[in-house]
Structure 1
Amino acid sequence: MTANRTHRRPSLLQRLRGVSGEVVQFAVVGLVGFAVNFGLSNAVLHLTHWAPVRCSVIGTLVAIVVNYLGYRYWVYKDSDAASRRREITLFLLFSGIGLLIENGAVWFAVYGLGMTSTLAYNGAKVLGTGIATLFRFFSYRTWVFRALPELAEPTEVVAEAERLLSIEDSPQFAR
């Protein structure tokens, strides 16, 4: 005997609505990280006159810390926290890849194209940050901050329990 289950998959519109709130929160945290990243990297660049990529990496590293705190304690606060070590390891791995994407764009602009103005530096940083942000968003939500499994509706649980009890009470299972 097969059970007639009525698991309704959310519509595309419902799934997009669910993701849209997450995207807004992700964007807010990202904008704070963006401000930290650009503010710090430009300050270090102009105050120390170090190499542009080094200054960019410093800004990116500090922004990664700020972003982790925002993602962990606000955007993905309801995610499964059973394994913080795994979460932090994956976060750092994907953040590191994002760092390479972002600062690779800066490196290419400065050393590949010879663009050394502040405008070129910040333009390359914006482009690299944009590409890295897309990568990070999908990586974080897919592998780092997994959502807790949704609990079944109480009526579904009751219906399933009643179905199982009715199977046990059937003549086939009588002793």
Structure 2
Amino acid sequence: MSVLALLTLRMRDAIGAVWREAAKFGVVGALAFVVDNGGYNLLVFGLPGGEVGGPMRMAPVLASVMATGVATVLSWVGNRYWTYRHRWCGNVTQELALFLSVNIVGVAITAGTVFLSRHLIGLESALGDNVARISGWVLATLFRFFAYRRYVFVTHC
């Protein structure tokens, strides 16, 4: 087999592996997204049709941090034991510390978009909050995917 053919096969396998990881990361992320945004909306706006609002209606940034924290736990379990299980090394403490560090930045990105929307732009509606959170979620997700691959779920064995 020629060198070019070998390189082509290796490149195809590498690209395929990244796409499989990205797909699994996407499934875990989608579930975390539902938990995060569903939790946030329940905390701030309450049950659909309710006129009172949620228990944290006066603290939307804190509600964002709390909802994202719960979604982070789900994300850790899904990514550790499904998406990146082939990169298992056994040093869970270091990996978890890096995971939490990356997610603190992700929380700041998502909460930051809510802060910008609420306090700098002046949008205080459910639509404004959700547009801000989805924008933050997209930015944080891109950051997390690359940080997980590069720094968190790497083989150091």
TM-score range, shorter chain: 0.7 to 0.9
What's 1:98 paired with? 106
**What is the CA–CA distance in structure 1 between the aligned matches of 2:156 and 2:104, rounded to whole Å?**
25
Equivalent residues, number: 143
Q: Which runs of 5+ in 2 are unaligned?
A: 46-53
Spell out structure 1 runs of 4+ moving beyond 4 A. 8-11
Q: Contact 1:80 / 1:148 at 8 angstroms: preserved in 2?
A: no
Residues 93-119 of structure 1: per-residue CA shift (max 9 Å, x gap): 000001101110111011110010100
Which residue of 55, 68, 76 corresponds with 2:84? 76
48-57 or 119-128: which moved more? 48-57
Query: Do 2:44 and 2:63's aligned partners in 1 also have CA atoms closer than 8 Å?
Result: yes
Aligned to 1:36: 35
**Structure 1, 37-46 or 80-89: larger mean CA deviation:** 80-89
Residue pairs, 1:82-161, within 5 angstroms: 82-147=90-155
Q: Computing the radius of gyration over CA atoms, which structure comes out larger, 1 or 2? A: 1
Whether the 8 Å CA contact 1:90–1:143 is kept in 2: the answer is yes
Q: CA deviation at 1:147?
A: 4.1
Q: How far off its partner does 1:18 sit?
A: 1.3
- The answer to whether the 8 A contact 1:103-1:128 is kept is yes
CA contact (8 A) 1:44 1:50 kept: no
- 8 Å contact from structure 2 (residues 110, 137) kept in 1: yes
* Identity, % of aligned positions: 34
CA distance in 2 between counterparts of 1:20 and 1:73 reads: 18
**TM-fit CA distance, 1:54:** 1.2
Residue type matched to 2:39 in 1? L
Segment of structure 1 superposing worse, 60-69 or 42-51 = 42-51
